A = this chain, B = another copy of it.
Amino acid sequence: MKDTEKRLIELRRDFHKHAESMWKEYRTASIVARHLMTLGIPVVMGDDLSVKGMQFQYPSEEKIAEEKRRAISQGAEPELVEKMCGLPGVMGIIDTGREGPVTAFRFDIDALPFSETDAPEHRPVKENYVSVNGGSCHACGHDGHTAIGMIVAEELMKRKESLRGRIKLIFQPAEEGGGGARGIVERGCLDDVDYFFAGHIGLTRLDGKPLPSHGIIGGAKDFLDSRRYNIIYKGKAAHPCGNPNDGKNALLASCVAALGIHTIPPHCQGEFHQNVGVMHAGSSRNTIAADSYMEVEVRGENDIVAEYGEKKMLSVVKGAAEAYEVECDVVLIGKSSSGASDDRAIEIVMRCARTIPWFTEFHDVGSVGGSDDASEMLRRVQKNGGIGSYIGLGANFTASFHDKAFDFDEGVLAPSVELFVRMVEDIHS
């Protein structure tokens, strides 16, 4: 397994270095697609993989063209990029030719939309795999997920003759707020699936602490219902000394709104979280700010709580607009649903994990610690009578998820491949 481990790390660091955030993952998807095709696995891409028009925060044509050029300059294959039809992802289908169940694995491949730290003590800096793509940073471990999925494909092809049924390996773009799963679900890719699994490096134990290296969580049951909005205020510029009374201060309206959103109380029927993660306001020090922009999300353990938070948030946003006499645009940017892993799927995970020596800390249930649109896929599978789980793969971190200094213990990669392969053997033998 030593050689596999080395290759996993190489792959993961290559993706890390060429991080591609939401809807830019042309290079990553191209490399994955080529790998699958080389292994002899048929691939599904573009309009065959997803349905257009359901994406969140989808970029402009110009931006996409620019990103395709950038991806190609970094090694993406032009024909593959074209085949993706603007939806940079890929699904490989391993068909054993024998009757049997259908299992799908979801690997998310996107980075986060901010720049990585360049601090000299950051391992990616020291060992030269820090992101060269400004504004994109693998601070959530998806680089690792992608590498795991590629080697899982390889290992499964070695065992293909001893397996039954079909295995779908879905490399999904835009998990971080782009709603990448929605189009894939809508296209029907999950409709024949009996078992669905997605894994995430890390996750949180039920005691609120991060799952360390050597830990395994069988499944999370607390996907949060997430609703994401952009809030744009339009006020009126004025000189703060010359005619301050003519101004309508969009910056102050945003400040009141942000504070107000963060004072929305919790809900007695389930976990609730809110965040104003981004604010940009004003254009000049000596001008009353005429414009502001905020990125907001509310999440609830169920749709009652999420709707409560959404309604309260919108009241705050409108009230702040009225208070400062500014106009208000409220733009729904994304949604993902709540969900929970199935006990029977968790059993499969735990049974297999216990056979792998690397895993020494066992938790049947853990916490998503937020949302993941794997829940959209899981719910579709469950609706059709299938089962599934969202697995936690323990790894020590150097910083919190979504921190620009995030890096993880690469020791988790090889055991994760082993786990997924065992699970397939368990289900498909």
- List, in ascending order, chain B residues with CB within 8 A of A238's CB: 400, 402-403
Chain B nearest CB, measured from A57 CB (Å): 9
Q: Is A126 an interface residue (CB 8 A)?
A: no
Contact B228 A285 (CB under 8 A): yes
- List, in ascending order, chain B residues with CB within 8 A of A280's CB: 279-281
Stretch at the interface among A166-174, A293-301, A346-354: A293-301
A259 to B245, CA, bound (A): 17
- List, in ascending order, chain B residues with CB within 8 A of A255's CB: 254-256, 258-259, 279
Contact with B along A279-323 (1 / 0, CB 8 A): 111111111111010011101000000001000100110111111
Chain B nearest CB, measured from A140 CB (Å): 9
Q: Is A27 an interface residue (CB 8 A)?
A: no
A268 to B243, CA, bound (A): 5
Chain B nearest CB, measured from A399 CB (Å): 8
Q: Is A82 an interface residue (CB 8 A)?
A: no
Q: Is A344 an interface residue (CB 8 A)?
A: no
Complex partner residue of A177 from B285, B299, B403, B404, CB under 8 angstroms: B285
Complex partner residue of A239 from B237, B240, B322, B370, CB under 8 angstroms: B370
Q: Is A145 an interface residue (CB 8 A)?
A: no
A273 to B286, CA, bound (A): 10
Task: Name A181-234 residues within 8 Å CB distance of B.
Answer: 204, 207-210, 224, 228
A368 to B243, CA, bound (A): 11
Range of interface residues on A (Cβ < 8 Å)? 35 or more
Contact A402 B286 (CB under 8 A): yes
Chain B nearest CB, measured from A295 CB (Å): 4
Q: Is A398 an interface residue (CB 8 A)?
A: no
Interface centre among A241, A277, A321 (most CB of B within 10 A): A241
- List, in ascending order, chain B residues with CB within 8 A of A53's CB: none
Known: A245-B266, A315-B325. A297 touches B275 (CB 8 A): no
Interface centre among A236, A259, A271 (most CB of B within 10 A): A259
Contact A251 B258 (CB under 8 A): yes
Contact B245 A267 (CB under 8 A): yes
Residues of A participating in the B interface, judged by any CB pair closer than 8 Å: 112-115, 176-177, 204, 207-210, 224, 228, 236-247, 249, 251-252, 254-260, 262-263, 265-271, 273-290, 292, 295-297, 299, 308, 312, 315-316, 318-325, 333, 367-371, 399-404
* 6 extra A-B contacts, CB within 8 A, seeds A209-B269, A238-B402, A249-B262: A176-B286, A240-B277, A241-B368, A241-B369, A315-B323, A323-B323
